[in-house]
Structure formats: C-alpha cells, structure tokens
Amino acid sequence: MQQLSTRHLLGIKGLTETDIQLIFETADNFKEVLNRPIKKVPSLRDITIANVFFENSTRTKLSFELAEKRLSADVVNFASGSSSVKKGETLIDTVNNILAMKVDMVVMRHSSPGAPHFLSRHIRANIINAGDGTHEHPTQALLDAFSIREKLGEVAGKKVAIIGDILHSRVALSNIFCLQKLGAEVMVCGPVTLMPRHIGDLGVKVEQDVFKALQWCDVANVLRIQLERQQIKYFPSLREYSLYFGINKKLLNQLDKEIVIMHPGPINRGVELNSDVADSDNAIILQQVENGVAIRMAVLYLLAGVK
C-alpha cells in the first residue's frame, strides 16, 4: 500500500503533491463505498480515534465522526466545555489522559494557531488538524480541491477566487497552499480591512472588486464573515458588506460565462451569498459536504498505516 510522507496531517504545507493525489485516489474509492447500500468497511476495526474539539463545530465534527464510523473505528468524543479544561487542566495533560486509555489517533480543533503542531511534538498518536485558530484547516482544503476536480475534471490550470473574510479564515490559507500545489491560479478578494497585509507574498492575485474577481475565475469559493473572531469593526455594517461583496443571481447573470460557486459553511444567507445563488445549479455546496466524508475517510485510513 502507498503511504503518506507524514504521520500527521497538521496542515497542507506539510503535504506533497503526491500525498494530495494519493488522498484523492483513496477518496474516490471511499466515495464509491458511501454510495453502496451498506456504507461500512472494516478498514480501521482495531483503531480508536478521539475527536478532541476545543471550539464549536457542526459539519467538521459530524463529518469526522461519520468517516470514523464508516471505517469501523472506535470513536471517543471530547468537548472542552464539559471537561476538566474548565478546571485548569493543560492541553498536554488533557490529551495524555485520553491517550492513557489507549487511543491511536487524535482529531483536534483548537482556537490557538499551532496547537496541533505543539501536540505532535509531545505525544505518539497520529494527529489530524481539524482547524487551529486562523491558521489552517487542511481537510477542508482537500475536500474543496477534490470537489473542483470532480466538477471540472482537474484542478491544474483552473482559476479559483477566494472571496470574503481572508484575514480571519483558516480555510483561505489551506486552500491557497492546496490549490497552488495542484497547479491552480488563486485570487483573493475582499475589503482591504479583511485582507492580510502581505497576502501577495504567497503568490496570489489580490482584487477588491468582486465583479472583476468573478469575471476572472472558473470557481468562486465564498467565505463567511467571521464575526466571532473580530475584536474591532472592519466595515460599517453587514448590509454594506453585502452591497459591495455579496454575490447574488443578478451579479452572476452579468458574467459572460458560467462559474462554480463553493462555500465551506456555515452560510450567512443574505450576507456573502443570496439564497438564489446558494441553491442554484452553479453551487456545489452540498457536494462539498458529501465529499468531506470521503476525504476524511481517506486521510484517516492512510494515516493509520503510518507509524
């Protein structure tokens, strides 16, 4: 069996193009499994996986848990809100206590950038980063690129615009790394106040006009405004943001081509995307959710073979 070049999935930056293609090929096989009447395989029957989430999550947590159960793994769920973290326990002590119960893999989401990297230097279990602050969200980038490949045939040579709150988004950074490794061109678009200062150094185009960005791209990956991470006001109001950067059907109809609309969720309808776009034939948002399970099955399966 082919193996990944790393024993953890901490970020896209640590993967090679060969790793990404291996994950995609494995996900193709698992997607076929998910469309069978019996959607379960015994691939990880003897593996115990802990989902350790220090931040709220719906889609990612459900997707990982479903992927683990489809692979027949034993699953332990941990939520920091009802744990000894509230009593002052440290991150390493929390995880070491979980590992003492003979857990093989840890899927972790944390509000601090670099938390999974820190943990990987101190414990022996395989770690999958399910999102660390505003840093990276590798499985989201993998499923986004996989969805583009499924819809358009390949990622190489495609033009992808990432539109919205780039400054606070871990999805944006992971997508930039992943798409560039696969040969796509990337543009970021949003208000100047929501754009990291040196984003151009990553080799991406920068645009403030949403119509120009849509006219340029083959795929628009639209991000929500992350109000929960914003300590100050970056724009006057959500209404004004929607007026200048929101995407609606009228705007898409002005383009001289059809483009693909993506969104990592949750969608703030009427802000970054109107319902007439989110529910249109242009959008592959629900396909992204479906592909998320197959991608996470592939990642779990491949990492379980790397010790």
Annotation: binding site for carbamoyl phosphate: 59-60, 109, 137, 140, 265-266
Block residue for tokens 């989401």: 109
- CA distance linking residue 82 with residue 276, whole number of Å: 39
Q: How many CA atoms lie within 13 A of 24 on its CB side?
A: 22
User: Computed from CA positions of residues 200, 139, 263, 285, in that sequence, does the dihedral angle turn out positive or negative?
Assistant: positive
Report the distance separating Cα 291 and Cα 280, nearest Å.
Answer: 19
Identify the residue whose tokens are 């208000």.
Answer: 191
Annotated binding-site members for L-aspartate: 87, 170, 224
Q: Is 189 exposed, middle or buried, given 0-12, 13-18 or 19+ CB atoms closer than 10 A?
A: buried
Rounded distance between C-alpha atoms, residue 223 and residue 273, angstroms: 9
Q: Give Cβ neighbours of residue 154 (< 8 Å, ≥ 6 apart).
A: none
Least Cα distance to 255 among 238, 285, 277, 284 occurs for: 277
Q: Residue ranges for the binding site?
A: 59-60, 87, 109, 137, 140, 170, 224, 265-266
